[in-house]
Amino acid sequence: MSTPEPLMQIMGLRVEVRGVPILRGVDMEFERGKVYAVLGPNASGKSTLAKTVMGLPEYEVKGGDILFEGDSILDKSITERARMGIAYAFQTPPTIPGVTLEEFICRICPEYLCRTSEDYLMAEQCTCRKELYDDFDRLGIGNLAGRDLNDGFSGGEMKRSELFQVLSMRPKIMFLDEPDSGLDYDSLKIVGRELRAIREEKSTTMVVISHHRYILEFLEVDKVYILQNGRVVYTGDMSVIPELEEKGYERFLAETAATT
């Protein structure tokens, strides 16, 4: 039986930020409908990986390739990548003054249809208020609807707002940058439940960057990658998590040191 073609392949990826090498030859594969965890100590390159996949200009690809559905996306703009089905939930998104969360969602999410209107950017009112509010309430962010995007949102509110946005885009693959940081238990439960539902639909590949066991176990992660100093130092299953909790990244640090 032939192995299905991965949705995304990262091959020998080398990335610099303002001349400083961050990723030093990363190889990863992400299959359709599966859930991946990218772990690693601080500054190991996890967020850089996600932002490079999204095409943020600060992240300069110096070597290697990123294939999406078999084709390189390195020459694609951020917009093109987003429209191809790649999404990234920012860890610290910028504030957009004067644009409310409600208005923004209505204008970016095909699911809510407003975008079908020719002048959707200027539309006075969306046509999907009821559905939108139901979904806001499900994620517990109804109170943010009329507020300016990311303006004064708490850490937890920001995470849920980001998650709401990327889920609404119905992407083929989404990179979630620490979706569980700053969340209280109730928020964690809400986020976990949403991600779990997506996992069960198997329609979206999830790449979760996290430092915490709870969300990864709840999602029943299929594969774990550990990044250290810009390289993949572990590819395997969740059995590595207890060791990480007990000893941290000690072993991987030692291995990296030995090979560099």
Partner 1 sequence: MADSDDIKERARRALDRPSVFGDDLDLSEYRVEETEERRLDVKELTDEDRMLLEEVGFDVGQRSVAGSFMQFDNESVLADVMIKQEGLEVLPTRRALEKYDWLEDYLWRAVPVDADKYTALSELHGYDGYFIRAEEGAKIEMPVQTCLVIKKGRSIQNVHNIVIAEQGAELHIVTGCATPSHVERALHLGISEFYVKRDARLTFTMVHKWNEAVDVRPRTGVMVDTNGVYVSSYAILSPVKSLQTYPKVHLVGRNARADLYTVVYGTGTSKYDVGGLLSLEARGTRGKVISRTIATDQSQIIARGELQGRVNGVRARLECNGLLLSDSAGIRAVPILDASAEGVELSHEATVGKVGADQLNYLMSRGLTEDEATSLIVRGFMHLKAPDLPPRLQKAIDDAVRMTLEKGL
Determine if 74 is a binding residue for partner 1 (CB under 8 A). no
Interface residue with partner 1, options 62, 83, 193, 202 (CB under 8 A) = 83
Determine if 148 is a binding residue for partner 1 (CB under 8 A). yes
Residue 229 CB, shortest distance to partner 1, in Å, is 26
Residue 119 CB, shortest distance to partner 1, in Å, is 7
Q: Which of 162, 112, 169, 121 is nearest to 139 (CA)?
A: 162
Q: Which of 189, 99, 195, 200 is nearest to 140 (CA)?
A: 189
- Residue indicated by tokens 């303006």: 151
Determine if 108 is a binding residue for partner 1 (CB under 8 A). yes
C-alpha to C-alpha distance for 18 and 241, rounded to whole angstroms: 33
Interface residue with partner 1, options 19, 57, 130, 246 (CB under 8 A) = 57
Angle at the Cα of 29 (from 27 to 35), degrees rounded to 5? 130
User: At 94, which amino acid appears?
Assistant: P
Angle at the Cα of 98 (from 82 to 174), degrees rounded to 5? 20
Residue 72 CB, shortest distance to partner 1, in Å, is 19
51 vs 199 by CB, closer to partner 1:
51
User: At 149, which amino acid appears?
Assistant: L
Q: What are the structure tokens assigned to 121, written together?
A: 């950017």
- What are the percentages of helix, strand and coil residues in the chain, rounded to 5? 40, 25, 35
Determine if 111 is a binding residue for partner 1 (CB under 8 A). no
For partner 1, the binding residues in 201-220 under the rule CB under 8 A are none
Residue-by-residue DSSP string for 123-186: -SS-S-HHHHHHHHHHTT-GGGTTSEETSS--HHHHHHHHHHHHHHT--SEEEEESTTTT--HH
Q: Which of 109, 108, 97 is nearest to 148 (CA)?
A: 97
Listed ranges 21-29, 101-109, 196-204, 252-260: which one lies at the site for partner 1 (CB under 8 A): 101-109
Determine if 56 is a binding residue for partner 1 (CB under 8 A). yes
Binders of partner 1: how many residues, by CB under 8 A? 28
Determine if 94 is a binding residue for partner 1 (CB under 8 A). yes
Listed ranges 4-12, 76-84, 137-145, 230-238: which one lies at the site for partner 1 (CB under 8 A): 76-84
Binding-residue pattern over the window 29 to 48 for partner 1, x denoting contact by CB under 8 A:
--------------------
Determine if 118 is a binding residue for partner 1 (CB under 8 A). no
Q: Which positions touch partner 1 (CB under 8 A)?
A: 54, 56-57, 77-79, 81-83, 87-88, 90, 93-94, 96-99, 104, 107-108, 119, 121-122, 124, 148, 165, 169
